[in-house]
Amino acid sequence: MRFTTMEKNLTQLIEPEIQDVTPGVQVRAFQAGKIVCDIALGQTYAYYDLASLTKVIFTVQAMMLAYDQGRWDLNTAVKKILPWYRHQTLVRELLAHYTGFEAWKPYYKTLDLKKSFHEKRLDLKTALMKEDPKTPVEKCLYSDINFLLLGFILEEIYQKDLLQVWEFIKETFYIGTTLEFHVDNQATQRKILYAPTEECPWRNRLLQGEVHDENTWALGGVSSHAGLFGTIDDLGWHALHVRSQLLGIARYEVKQKTAQLFARRAVEEGKGDWALGFMMPTPGQASCGHYMDLSSIGHTGFTGTSSWYDPKMDLAVCVLSNRLVYGRENNRFKSLRPKIHNWLIEGLRKSA
């Protein structure tokens, strides 16, 4: 493989930084829809646990399609779709993490792993019924609970179970990709092809080809907040897909104005930096570095993954790593990721 000067320089900058941070990293970037960077450093793998990128690859796309079909709007209350939900929360507030729900809760500790997928979802529903959002909400708080509720909304809207909803979304938007959930936590390829994540104290083994998130694992490997596995090709496809929706340059099921609505700031400044399901850069703290425009949208994954798109530069940057091999307490990748974006953009500007 022939590298450009920019890719060589970027490699030299990243290589010394990954020691004790992550075993390896893949970076792929597109500008104006064309690949401008494609590098892999350290020990890399074909497939990665995409973690919370599941939220934007699956759930946001499914909600976008449902919005376009008139199945909900910005004033729709959650309880209009889920009668068992007793609070005044709006659907858009779940997407924008503007509910005050806790960041994460260990539902896996109370789920009976011997039960079927449907039975466990009923038990999760019972647990979610007891959750109380904070009112009034002062600031956004990123929470998986919001997206667990969105999973039940998707099932109700589409009248399918969550895995069937995903299969429909994949057929609609991602046909030809290898994006998939590992149903019943069973990998579909050889174990060695998957990036290992963590030596899990609960499951008593190194996780490889099994979803890292405990709640998703307990639910059978399928959820609306985590669980998808994929390659750098798959993540690149998703990034180009989002770009095409926003630019209206390809025929998709979702209208351009709907895609642009979801990419627009959904919470007033000072209360959070969120579009409808997408992160937006927080000045001085953005995981996409300090060059990307504040109108950029993206998301990160706990395992060390991310995808960002800047409409002003028409630049998409995808990053895959398995930083959890060194333990979830090791947060050094959090500071490396923005550097990668900064170095990449600086390199592109020099080579322009």
Question: In this predicted model, what pLDDT tens digit does every residue of 163-181 receive, in sequence order?
Answer: 999 999 999 999 999 999 9
**Which pLDDT does position 241 carry in this prediction?**
96
- Band (192; pLDDT cuts 50, 70, 90): very high
273-332 pLDDT, tens digit per residue, is 999 999 999 999 999 999 999 999 999 999 999 999 999 999 999 999 999 999 999 999
Range of the domain at 343: 5-351
223-269 pLDDT, tens digit per residue, is 999 999 999 999 999 999 999 999 999 777 899 999 999 999 999 99
Per-position DSSP letters for 1-29, written without gaps between them: -PPPHHHHHHHHHHGGG-TTT-SEEEEEE
**Which pLDDT does position 177 carry in this prediction?**
98
Q: Tell me: pLDDT of 1 over 70.
A: no
Q: Which amino acid is at 172?
A: T
CATH number of the domain enclosing 61 = 3.40.710.10
Cβ contacts of 209 within 8 Å, gap of 6 or more: 47, 182, 187, 189, 191, 193, 194, 229
Q: What is the DSSP letter of 55?
A: I
What percentage of the chain exceeds 90 in pLDDT? 95
| Candidate from 11-25, 34-48, 247-261, 276-290 with smallest mean pLDDT | 247-261
- Radius of gyration for the chain, computed over Cα atoms and rounded to the nearest angstrom: 19
328-345 pLDDT, tens digit per residue, is 999 999 999 999 999 999
- DSSP-derived 3-state class of residue 58: helix
Report the pLDDT averaged over residues 8-32.
Answer: 97
What percentage of the chain exceeds 70 in pLDDT? 99
What are the residue ranges of helices labelled H in the chain? 5-14, 53-54, 60-68, 78-81, 91-95, 117-129, 144-158, 162-173, 214-218, 232-247, 256-262, 333-351
- Band (27; pLDDT cuts 50, 70, 90): very high
Element (H, E) at 40: strand 34-42
Report the pLDDT averaged over residues 143-152.
Answer: 98
- My answer on whether omega of the bond before 136 falls inside 30° of 0, hence cis, is yes
Mean pLDDT score of the chain, rounded to an integer? 97
Residues 27 and 41: their CA atoms lie apart, in Å, by 9
Residues 156 and 125: their CA atoms lie apart, in Å, by 13
Yes or no: say if 43 and 352 are a contact pair by the CB < 8 Å rule. Answer: no
Yes or no: say if 137 and 105 are a contact pair by the CB < 8 Å rule. Answer: no
- Band (3; pLDDT cuts 50, 70, 90): confident
Instruction: Tally Cβ neighbours within 10 Å of residue 72.
Output: 19
- Alpha-carbon dihedral 46, 188, 303, 241, rounded to 10 degrees: 70
Q: Tell me: pLDDT of 158 over 80.
A: yes
Report the pLDDT averaged over residues 99-110.
Answer: 96
Q: Give me the number of domains the chain comprises.
A: 1
